[in-house]
Amino acid sequence: MTAKAAPAPRKAPIPKQALAAKVFHWVNIISLFAMMGSGLQIYNANPVFGGRAGTHFPAPMMIGGWLAGGRHWHFFFMWFFALNLLWYGIYIFATKRWQNRYVAKNDLEAIQKGKNPKRRNYAIHRLIYTSFIPILLLALLTGLGMWKTVQFGWIVDLFGGWQNLRTVHFLTIPAVLLMMIAHSLLALNVGQWKLVRSIFA
């Protein structure tokens, strides 16, 4: 009598993500990279920003061809970016998604005092995910102030002048990129590749 072979271990299923979350991530990623590329084109082509006389970014990183093209691309995707943030904000409050996706007091306690590594990783992930909100809103706010300095003069004043506003707006690029890298690495750490796939598949 032969012993029965042990059943093969079942693979963990890929987590299911809401369609709205997938659409938000796709539109956000495309819009952000398009605005980054066109923003670097504006920097290179506009003497006001110092791009003509200062540091130049390589052509493969840019979108638009020159100043006018860069501005058109930048403003076109700005509307996609802004409207995407608006409807997703309405969605997460209407569905109460914010209750289990964004950082809370118990997450901060888990980061500071938690002994469970898995629970701590989830808490850090929520903190990083939540930190996207002020950075993306800051990029939008400073962009509006640079675009319409007269109509949104209060934004310029809020940052202490146009040069400060421009610097903060430019710094949102590396900030967003670093947050995206951290978010992806934490997703791999928490849920492995299947969690990352779930938001795009």
Q: Point out the least confidently predicted range of 4-18, 95-109, 181-195.
A: 4-18
The reported pTM is: 0.76
Q: What integer is the mean pLDDT of 125-145? A: 88
Domain ranges of the chain: 18-51+64-101, 102-201
At residue 1, the pLDDT reads 47
User: What sections of the chain are H helices per DSSP?
Assistant: 19-45, 67-94, 98-101, 105-113, 117-147, 153-158, 162-198
pLDDT confidence of residue 117: 79
Q: What is the average pLDDT across 186-195?
A: 67
Quick one: what percent of the chain has pLDDT higher than 70? 80
CA atoms lying within 13 Å on the CB side of residue 158: 13
Q: State mean pLDDT over 87-98.
A: 83
84: CB partners within 8 A, 6+ apart? 24, 27, 28, 31
Instruction: Give the chain's mean pLDDT.
Output: 80
